Amino acid sequence: MINEERLLLHLAELAKIGSTPEGGVNRFSFTAEEMVANLYIKQLMEAAGMTVSTDAIGNIIGEVNSHIDTPAIVLGSHIDTVPNGGHYDGALGVLSAIEVIHTLQDNNIPLKRPVKVIAFKDEEGTRFQFGMIGSRAAAGTLQLEELQRTDEEGISIAEAMQQDGLDAANVADAKLSNVDCYVELHIEQGKVLEKAGVGVGVVTGIAGPLWQQITLSGTAEHAGATPMALRQDALVGASLIIAKIEELARQYPAAVATVGKLSVSPNGVNVIPGEVTFTVDIRDIEEEVRNALEQEIYHAAQAIAQERQLTLAIETLQRVAPVKCDAEIQQIIAQAIADNGQQVVHLPSGAGHDAMQFNGQFPVAMIFVRSKDGISHNPKEFTSAEDIIAGANVLKQTLLELDQR
C-alpha cells in the first residue's frame, strides 16, 4: 500500500504555497508561487528516486527507467490553480503519481518499462485565459502564435516564459515521443461518485466543449413610450432562447449546456434592450450528440428571433473534440477498484483535463476520486483521506498492470 502519511503531508505542504486567508490557494503559472511549488515537486520526485528535468514549456518531468528504449507510461496532472482554488484539483494527481513511484522504490518493486510523471504547466489558464499550455506543448499542438496571447497587463505568454528562463522558440522540443499511454488521477469535481457511495471511479470519456457567442439585435427604444406589441426587445428574445437551451439539453442523458456570460445594451433602466450577447457552452462525450444538440439550439434560436423580429448572429469561439478513454485501460482500472473492495462505477468527465490534449496520439485514461458535495474551484473543495489513499492505490495497481503488458 502507498504511504498514507507521506502523501497527506505532501498535499498539506503544497497547499501552503500560495495559500489565501479564505483557506484556498492562488498558485498561478509563471508566478513566484509556482516557482516555489515547482521546486517542491522536483524535490519530491528526486526523493522518490526519479531523474528530474524541466522541458521547453516548463513542464516538470520525473522519470524512472529512462535508459530502457520502450514506450513510456506517463502519469500526471497539474499544480496550478484558479483564483482562490482548492487543495486537490490537479495537485492530487501529481502527488499521487509521485507517491506511487516512491512506494515502489521503498519496497524494491522494479518496473520493466520507463515511466514519466509530469506536472503540466498552466492547465487552468487563469492568467492568459488560455489553458492546458503544458499539455498542448507535450502533445505538439501548441502553436508559436498562441504564445503571443497576453494577460491583463499586456505581457505575453512568450514574455512570461522568458522571465522564467524559457525560450518560446524551443516550444516544439516539449513534444512527447515514444509514449505507450497516459493515465491521470483527478478529483471528480462533481457528485456522481458521492451519490453512488463510492470513493473511486473509472472515467469513460472527457466531454469536448463547444463554445458559442450568440448576439440578438432588436431596437433600443423608450421604455415608457413604446407599446408592448410594437417592441423588438432583444433581452426578452434572449431569455426565451436561454430557457429553450436548458429544455433541449435536458432531453439528452449526458449532455450539458450552460449560458454563463451575458451582456445587455444599452443597459439602461428606462431603455428597451436593443442588443444582447451571451455565451453558450455545450458538452457531451459523444461528438454526434453534442452536434445534434447544437443544431437543435440553432433552429430554436432562429425561430424565436424570427418570431420576435430580431436579428440573430452566432459565432463559434471554440470546438474541441470529446475524448474516449481507452477501453482496455478502463478494464484495468475497474479491476484495481474491485480488488480494493469497492463497487465499480463508470462515469464521464464534464470538465476538461490535460489528458484530452493527447487524443488520437496514444491511449489515455482517467481515474476519478470522490469530491465532497461536488464542490471544486473553491476553498471548500474537499476529498477525504480515505478516498485519497484508495485512489492512489488504484493508480499504483493500474501502473503495475500496465507495466506487465
Neighbouring-strand partners of residue 280: 212
Query: Look-up: residue for cell 457567442?
Result: 213
The single-letter code of the amino acid at 312 is L
The single-letter code of the amino acid at 186 is H
Q: What is d(CA 122, CA 142) in angstroms, rounded to the nearest whole number?
A: 13
Residue 267 CA to chain centroid, in angstroms? 34
pLDDT in 10s for each residue of the chain, 405 residues: 899 999 999 999 999 999 999 999 999 999 999 999 999 999 999 999 999 999 999 999 999 999 999 999 999 999 999 999 999 999 999 999 999 999 999 999 999 999 999 999 999 988 887 889 999 999 999 999 999 999 889 999 999 999 999 999 999 999 999 999 999 999 999 999 999 999 999 999 998 889 999 999 999 999 999 999 999 999 999 999 999 999 999 999 889 999 999 999 999 999 999 999 999 999 998 999 999 999 999 999 999 999 999 999 999 988 888 999 999 999 999 999 999 999 999 999 988 899 999 999 999 999 999 999 999 999 999 999 999 999 999 999 999 999 998
The single-letter code of the amino acid at 272 is I
The single-letter code of the amino acid at 271 is V
Q: Are 10 and 98 in contact (CB under 8 A)?
A: yes
Long-range contacts of residues 224-232, Cβ cutoff 8 Å, at least 24 apart: 224/270, 226/272, 231/272, 232/272, 232/274, 232/308, 232/309, 232/310
257 grid coordinates: 449546456
Q: Could you write out the three-class secondary structure of 323-337?
A: EECCHHHHHHHHHHH
112 grid coordinates: 520493466
pTM of the model: 0.86
305 grid coordinates: 428571433
**In terms of residues, how long is the chain?**
405
**Which of 89, 75, 101 shows the shortest CA–CA distance to 2?**
101
User: Given CA atoms 384, 386, 390, 396 in this order, what sign does their dihedral have?
Assistant: positive
CA dihedral (124, 127, 130, 134) in degrees, to 10, reads -60
